[in-house]
Amino acid sequence: MSCCEVVVIPANNKRFTQQKLGEQTLLLGSWEDSSAFSINIPDQYSEELFVPSYFDAGIQLFTSGTSGEPQIVDKTLYQLLNEVQAHNLKWSSRVVNTTTLATVSHQHIYGLLFKLLWPLASGRRFVSKTYVDVVGLLQDAQKWGPAVWVASPAQLSRRISSWPWELGKSLVDIFSSGGPLLEVDAKAIDQLCGIQPIEVYGSTETGGIAWRNQLRQKSWSPLKGVNIAKNSDGLLKVSSPWLPKEFICQDKVQISTDGMFELKGRADRIIKIEEKRISLTQVESLLVGSSYIVKANVLVLERKRKVVAAVATLTESGKELLQKKGKASLVRKLRETLAKDLDGVAVPRSWRFVDEIPTNLQGKITRDLLMQLFDEIPAAMVPQIISSEILDNTRQVNFTVNDDLPCLDGHFEGSPVVPGVVQLDWAMHFGRPLVKAGSTSTQMEVIKFKQLMMPGDAVTLSLEFSQEKNKLNYSFRNTQDGNIEYSSGRLCFSHV
């Protein structure tokens, strides 16, 4: 690379992204426009040595797009290496002579630092690929251990107890970043492989800010060199050697006398409906504060008019109420709870109750992923049927996963797979003829994702509807080898 050039690390290789980037000197990787593979040297090119300032942009990263369109964030190698040094000072004695394995991509600043730059700077081994299979990661941890796992909260929450966790004894640390890690997930990982995850708090804009092991300490400890304060609005102010100037986060914070702090929710998710200001963060906090909800994400749907919608995972009491009384009763209870603190327009009108909230490869819950839960399946999203047979309350559907299905794009870069949420949609779509007319989906049970479904796979979907229980059992298996099961579960419906 010559001086004065900028390295861009985009979130994906889609046409919209390429158009947003504009004319770059060089685009590496698989891009739609083959003409992108060229090097254009400016007419005024000079061989004169140029020494960039510490904070001249050298790398462009993109925010996750959690609340909308991803934003460009400029970084320099100076900034990134300063942060790497801080992490090395903190953790070097723990990770000496380890191999780094990651289920997060370098397209996220956390993955770039922990998966790539930190191992390079400290002379440690690392595996360049991004693991999409935790079983493979655990096997490689045993092969190349001692090892460090660079993970996200979403990936740790999607654990399956039957995975070979005994191989986790080769792990010395598990890092987690990109979002909050639930305490129940931290405890489960500790029980399965004896490792208490270390969380790193930060953002694309700020880099790393603080760390914690929540099983020992709920508060966050700032990284060495990071100075924190609270502004007049109660928001976190950060300055560090890897920031060009002080940055005001949109996180509310409570700072204790020992310099540690607790996060008190986001302040920047304010929307207006019918002249009423609504804090989506407040709606989420109130939902999680109820006895029925474990985790909730709230968004605004643009229908004939704006309405608030909620995606949530349920506690055991929430699941029990849903199963015994139905979705309408659960929603009514939640709306009654929210009505005590919120204006009517702030109470969600649309609800989706799921086993887990969908995330992207970086472990982020994006608006696009949440929106998919409220959209009907377009015809192009459904695989073309090879054969289908309905007998009484059962149906068997055979199909091949074509490589032009839209759902394959953007889930795992370079390794297209059928996302789990899409498999759920297919089970619902093909199982509808078996379900009683007028029934609505209320709940999902024992959902398991066991193998990756990939382009070219021949798949048999088996469906069986229990009229007595009003439940649809489904299983996706490989047509050639029935022992290979991709996923299975039960979809529950209301009684009519």
344: its two tokens: 């009517």
Q: Encode pLDDT of 461-487 as tens digits.
A: 999 998 888 899 999 999 888 889 999
Identify the band that residue 42 occupies on the pLDDT scale cut at 50, 70 and 90. Answer: very low
Residue 35 confidence (pLDDT): 46
Residues 270-372: name the CATH superfamily.
Answer: ANL, C-terminal domain (3.30.300.30)
What does the pLDDT look like over 169-211, one tens digit per residue?
A: 999 999 999 888 889 899 999 999 999 999 999 988 999 999 9
The rounded distance, in Å, linking the Cα atoms of 75 and 133 is 31
Q: Is the pLDDT of residue 49 over 50?
A: no
Least confident piece of the model among 41-45, 242-246, 267-271, 487-491: 41-45
Give the pLDDT score at 40: 44
pLDDT band per the 50, 70, 90 thresholds, residue 36: very low
Banded model confidence at residue 374, pLDDT cuts 50, 70, 90: confident
- C-alpha angle 408-411-417 in degrees, rounded to nearest 5: 50
% the chain with pLDDT above 70: 80
Domain boundaries, the chain: 77-265, 270-372, 379-493
Three-class DSSP category at 426: helix
Domain 77-265, CATH homologous superfamily name and number: ANL, N-terminal domain (3.40.50.12780)
Give residue 34's identity as a one-letter amino acid code.
S
Contact residues for 416 (Cβ-Cβ < 8 A; gap 6+):
403, 408, 409, 454, 455
Among 3.10.129.10, 3.40.50.300, 3.40.50.360, 3.30.1330.20, what is the CATH number of 379-493?
Answer: 3.10.129.10
The yes-or-no verdict on residue 46 having pLDDT over 60 is no
353: confidence class by pLDDT, cuts 50, 70, 90: confident
Q: Within 13 Å of residue 462, how many CA atoms lie on the same side as its CB?
A: 9
What is the rounded distance in angstroms from the CA atom of residue 322 to the CA atom of residue 330?
6
Contacts for 245 with CB less than 8 Å, ≥ 6 apart: 239
> Residue 362's pLDDT is what?
61
Taking the model in full, what pTM does it have? 0.59
pLDDT digits (tens, 9 = 90+) for 399-416: 888 877 877 765 555 578
The answer to whether the 270-372 and 379-493 domains have the same CATH topology is no
Q: How far apart are CA 416 and CA 92, in angstroms?
A: 35
